[in-house]
Chains A and B, each alone.
Chain A
Amino acid sequence: MNLQKRTCFITTKVTGLKPIDIGNGAQQWVNGTVLITINDLRGDFVNGDVTASAATLLHELGHAYYDLSSFLGGSRILPDGGEVNKSQNNQRLIKKDCF
């Protein structure tokens, strides 16, 4: 797949909850599935190269790990829904520590 010079637009969301047994007959809902969607609408994120696309994918996988491993410590990629500054901070962290 040629990712070069392609504008990407990626979002991550929890799409399913599942109950877990927490003892004494009680249950708690936890995140069951996470969906990463690429290029649903137009976007302005990755106008660059493969490295930028890879950073984007790692960013979204960080969200997925945070959402699915909530009781294992989560991820340093923090929730950023609707907050562009937090999203940019997450992206900077990926670029600083992963490349």
Chain B
Amino acid sequence: MILPWLVAISSLAGAESGEHVYSVCELLATPHEFNQRIIRVRGIVEGGMEGAWLRDESCPGRFRVGERSLAMAIWLSYQSEYGSPPPRHKAHIDQVERQITAGQRKRTSGLLELTYTGVFETRSEWKLLARRPGETQLWGFGHQNGFPAQLVITDEADPVIGPAGKERK
């Protein structure tokens, strides 16, 4: 059933539909199990002027290591921290981005859900950054090192633009 508030872009669906698609919550529950593996993950794309990340409404808290925490989200990047980035399907990504742009023109606001393929990267050992005397933070990924993992994107698919906030069921 196609709900009327959805702008589904079905023509681009299922580029690699045979593989399991993880949720953000699944990956961040045991991130070390997926470190440097190529995976598919679906979530809500958020961000703004300083980057983009993938989150999941099913696990709204913080990612915790002991008493410290990072955002419960996966940073999105084309840059690997562990070597050369894998080749990406630029033509297909550009095609999906054009579809997203066209879909977003039809709505003044909304959440974008997307399935990404890429290399999942996390820390095998957590170190601390010194912010100020007495102020430390886990050395995470992405902007301001605020994320417990990042996905080095190779492809994206299945965009759906849905309602935001209270409109959302």
| Residues of chain A whose beta carbon lies under 8 Å from any beta carbon of chain B | 8-14, 17, 28-31, 37, 40-46, 56, 60, 63, 66-67, 70-71, 74, 79-84, 87-88, 91
**Given contacts A11-B142, A81-B142, is CB(A56)–CB(B49) below 8 Å?**
yes
Complex CA distance for A11 and B141, rounded to whole angstroms? 11
**Given contacts A82-B73, A87-B50, is CB(A41)–CB(B78) below 8 Å?**
yes
Query: Closest CB of chain B to A29's CB: distance in Å?
Result: 7
A-B complex: 9 closest residue pairs judged by Cβ atoms: A81-B146, A45-B49, A81-B144, A82-B71, A11-B143, A82-B146, A11-B51, A81-B143, A79-B144
Complex CA distance for A56 and B143, rounded to whole angstroms? 14
Query: Closest CB of chain B to A64's CB: distance in Å?
Result: 11
Contact with A along B124-155 (1 / 0, CB 8 A): 00011111110101011111111100000100
Are A79 and B71 interface neighbours, CB within 8 A? no
B77 at the interface (CB under 8 A from A): yes
Complex CA distance for A44 and B53, rounded to whole angstroms? 13
B52 at the interface (CB under 8 A from A): yes
- B-side contacts of A43, CB under 8 Å: 47-49, 51-52
Closest to A7 in B: B49
Closest to A74 in B: B132
Query: Closest CB of chain A to B161's CB: distance in Å?
Result: 15
- B-side contacts of A10, CB under 8 Å: 49-50
**Given contacts A70-B132, A71-B133, is CB(A45)–CB(B147) below 8 Å?**
no
Closest to B46 in A: A84
B119 at the interface (CB under 8 A from A): no
9 A-B pairs with CB atoms under 8 Å apart are: A13-B145, A14-B145, A17-B127, A40-B77, A41-B77, A43-B47, A43-B48, A70-B130, A84-B46
Complex CA distance for A82 and B131, rounded to whole angstroms? 16
Contact with A along B42-64 (1 / 0, CB 8 A): 00001111111100000000000
